[in-house]
């Protein structure tokens, strides 16, 4: 049984961190006063000035050592993520594994931050001159991370920032700051230079103050409203922002229905549907809709919910009760507009049943907005052009998945839909740590993925001789 959990209870100098499943206070964290940020940034700038002259092999060695230290502390980190986020222990363990991979790939990428040489003889005054183009560190990176992947998404900022030669200041979500703090503490154990990696704590007020401070780059993962506020606060500072998605999975008549259904289940009910690229909208061709739904319901019925620390649990809670109430509100509205719940639909505290609803009205909040909860919303289609028009009408454009073996249709849809990434015979939540990841429209600015993020966190420098 779960209890009502406030999002964030603040005292004068601390805030409580809750277990989303049972409402227990796990720990108290000291909030960083905005007036304390300048000394932190000054320390980071001093560390960055020294670290910018480090060699790529040195940066790779540091990141590999941190990955080793995380491996040694993987159980503690996974249990902490399980408690503060509500992920199942299997999901939390997988996140810690991916975080190590992210750091190792970042270290590898540091050795391939290539530049180029251009001959200047293309203009008359440039005879016998050449331009050497390199990438140099920006300086101090401020990283603001969300609750849903508190370790791996932190590493997606920390790894490239350090691989590029920068210092980094991290502000984790106040809903899940504990595993992030452990990771930062492990940096010291891994032999990182003093003040190269620092952490501050707090909510929106701290985030705004950090964005306004004399940093050199802001990397933020969160919602579009918060992202816009931080971008406006940061002025001319370069911003990298991953702002979520409302991601479709499209299933065509020739698809492998078993595989597509399993993907929809895996990528929507993982961490109770709280992933930015999760399957939020399921588009089924009307020729296979009935058969597909039968398979989907059968597979979804096998999902066990409950205590995320229990190894038999397949899906845990959402992050807090306010989040659960918002999800239920959107579901109720969709039903009032004609949607039919095929499975689930109830919630108690922070636990929401795995839910499948079809005949969802396109203008419903459930369908129009990114919904962080375990609900699969189904619409059917027959005309590909109308499908593309509907998908492209979304304010978001993160990723999409297509299940089909028809090469021509795959190619046509992939070129036409307006998203940052298209996954073929895979769901939109698929991600490889070294591949560019990000979206268009309200889904964000710039790209993550360690290779491209390395350049995003660098300045281009030209020397003509």
- For residues 329 and 102, give the distance between their C-alpha atoms in angstroms, rounded to a whole number: 37
Sign of CA pseudo-dihedral 413, 415, 417, 420: positive
Work out the average pLDDT over 333-343. Answer: 98
Determine the pLDDT at residue 7: 39
Determine the pLDDT at residue 124: 86
Work out the average pLDDT over 176-202. Answer: 98
Q: Is 165 left (phi over 0), alpha (psi -120 to 50) or beta?
A: left
Domain count, the chain: 2
Residues 123 and 219 occupy one common structural domain: yes
For 119-137, how does the pLDDT look when each residue is reduced to its tens digit (9 = 90+)? 999 988 888 899 999 999 9
Work out the average pLDDT over 231-240. Answer: 95
Residues 277 and 311 occupy one common structural domain: yes
Task: Assess if residue 1 is contained within a domain.
Answer: no
Residues 278 and 350 occupy one common structural domain: yes
Work out the average pLDDT over 162-169. Answer: 98
User: Average pLDDT over the chain, rounded to whole?
Assistant: 95
Q: Which residues form the catalytic set?
A: 242, 276
Work out the average pLDDT over 85-101. Answer: 98
Work out the average pLDDT over 46-58. Answer: 97
Instruction: Please tell me whether residue 411 adopts helix, strand or coil conformation.
Output: helix
HEC sequence for the chain: CCCCCCCCCECCCEEEEECCCCCCEEEEEECCCHHHHHHHHHHHHHHHHHHCCCCHHHHHHHHHHHHHHHHHCHHHHHHHHHHHHCCCHHHHHHHHHHHHHHHHHHHHHHCCCCCEEEECCCCHHHCCCEEEEEEEECCEEEEECCCCCCCHHHHHHHHHHHHCCCEEEEECCCCCCHHHHHHHHHHHHCCCCCCCEEECCCCHHHHHHHHHCCCCEEEEECCHHHHHHHHHHHCCCEEEEECCCCEEEEECCCCCHHHHHHHHHHHHHHHHHCCCCCEEEEEEECCCHHHHHHHHHHHHCCCCECCCCCCCCCECCCCCHHHHHHHHHHHHHHHHCCCEEEECCCEECCEECCEEEECCCCCCHHHHCCCCCCEEEEEEECCHHHHHHHHHCCCEECEEEEECCCHHHHHHHHHHCCCCEEEECCCCCCCCCCCCECCEECCEECCECHHHHHHHCEEEEEEEC
In the chain, pLDDT over 90 holds for what percent of residues? 94
Determine the pLDDT at residue 126: 84
Determine the pLDDT at residue 340: 98
Task: Assess if residue 62 is contained within a domain.
Answer: yes
Task: Assess if residue 438 is contained within a domain.
Answer: no
For 30-50, how does the pLDDT look when each residue is reduced to its tens digit (9 = 90+)? 999 998 999 999 999 999 999
Check pLDDT > 90 for residue 99. yes
Determine the pLDDT at residue 391: 97
Check pLDDT > 60 for residue 112. yes
Residues 197 and 180 occupy one common structural domain: yes
Residues 74 and 160 occupy one common structural domain: yes
Determine the pLDDT at residue 116: 92
Work out the average pLDDT over 294-309. Answer: 97
Residues 367 and 288 occupy one common structural domain: yes
* CATH code for the domain of 68: 3.40.605.10
Residues 25 and 129 occupy one common structural domain: yes
Check pLDDT > 70 for residue 385. yes
Work out the average pLDDT over 1-30. Answer: 74
In this structure, are residues 106 and 116 in contact, taking their beta carbons and an 8 Å threshold? no
For 388-418, how does the pLDDT look when each residue is reduced to its tens digit (9 = 90+)? 999 999 999 999 999 999 999 999 999 999 9
Residues 302 and 160 occupy one common structural domain: no
CA proximity to 152, closest of 50, 258, 28, 271: 271
Check pLDDT > 60 for residue 294. yes
* CATH code for the domain of 309: 3.40.309.10
Check pLDDT > 70 for residue 367. yes
Check pLDDT > 50 for residue 6. no
Task: Assess if residue 6 is contained within a domain.
Answer: no
For 312-322, how does the pLDDT look when each residue is reduced to its tens digit (9 = 90+)? 999 999 999 99
Determine the pLDDT at residue 74: 98
pLDDT band at 12 (very low <50, low <70, confident <90, very high): low
Residues 365 and 235 occupy one common structural domain: no
Q: Domain of 54?
A: 14-243+443-464
Task: Assess if residue 3 is contained within a domain.
Answer: no
CA proximity to 230, closest of 213, 253, 248, 254: 213
Residues 420 and 451 occupy one common structural domain: no
Task: Assess if residue 37 is contained within a domain.
Answer: yes
Residues 239 and 251 occupy one common structural domain: no
Work out the average pLDDT over 9-28. Answer: 86
Residues 418 and 460 occupy one common structural domain: no
Determine the pLDDT at residue 115: 87
């Amino acid at each position: 049984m779960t209890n009502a959990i406030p999002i964030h209870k603040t005292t004068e100098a601390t805030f409580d961190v809750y277990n989303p499943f049972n409402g227990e206070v796990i720990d108290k964290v000291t909030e960083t006063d905005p007036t304390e940020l300048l000394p932190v940034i000054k320390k980071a700038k001093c560390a960055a000035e020294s670290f910018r002259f480090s060699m790529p092999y040195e940066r790779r060695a540091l990141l590999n050592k941190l990955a080793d230290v995380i491996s040694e502390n993987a159980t503690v980190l996974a249990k902490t993520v399980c408690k503060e986020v509500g992920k199942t222990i299997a999901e939390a363990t997988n996140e810690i594994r991916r975080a190590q991979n992210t750091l190792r790939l970042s270290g590898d990428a540091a050795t391939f931050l290539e530049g180029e040489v251009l001959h200047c003889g293309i203009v008359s005054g440039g005879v016998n001159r050449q331009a050497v183009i390199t990438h140099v560190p920006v300086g101090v990176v401020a990283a603001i991370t969300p609750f849903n992947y508190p370790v791996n998404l932190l590493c997606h900022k920390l790894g490239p920032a350090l691989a590029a030669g920068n210092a980094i200041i991290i502000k984790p979500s106040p809903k899940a700051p504990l595993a992030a703090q452990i990771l930062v503490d492990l940096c010291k154990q891994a032999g990182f230079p003093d003040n190269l990696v620092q952490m501050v704590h707090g909510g929106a007020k701290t985030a705004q103050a950090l964005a306004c401070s004399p940093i050199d780059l802001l990397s933020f993962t969160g919602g579009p409203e918060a992202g816009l506020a931080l971008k406006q606060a940061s002025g001319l500072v370069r911003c990298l922002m991953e702002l979520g998605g409302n991601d479709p999975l499209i299933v065509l008549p020739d698809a492998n229905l078993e595989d597509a259904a399993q993907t929809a289940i895996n990528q929507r009910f993982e961490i109770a549907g709280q992933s930015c690229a999760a399957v939020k909208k399921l588009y089924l061709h009307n020729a296979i809709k009935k058969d597909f739904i039968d398979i989907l319901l059968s597979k979804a019925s096998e999902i066990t919910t409950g205590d995320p620390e229990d190894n038999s649990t397949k899906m845990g809670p959402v992050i807090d009760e306010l989040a659960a109430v918002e999800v239920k509100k959107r579901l109720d509205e969709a039903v009032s507009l004609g949607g039919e719940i095929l499975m689930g639909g109830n919630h108690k505290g922070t636990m929401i049943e795995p839910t499948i609803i079809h005949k969802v009205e396109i203008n419903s909040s459930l369908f129009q907005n990114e919904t962080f909860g375990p609900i699969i919303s189904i619409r059917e289609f027959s005309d590909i052009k109308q499908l593309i028009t509907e998908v492209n009408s979304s304010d978001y454009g993160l990723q999409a998945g297509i299940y089909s073996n028809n090469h021509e249709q795959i190619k046509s849809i992939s070129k036409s839909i307006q998203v940052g990434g298209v996954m073929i015979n895979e769901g939109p939540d698929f991600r490889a740590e070294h591949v560019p990841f990000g979206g268009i429209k309200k889904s964000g600015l710039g790209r993550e993925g360690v290779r491209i993020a390395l350049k995003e966190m660098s300045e281009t420098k030209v020397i003509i001789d």
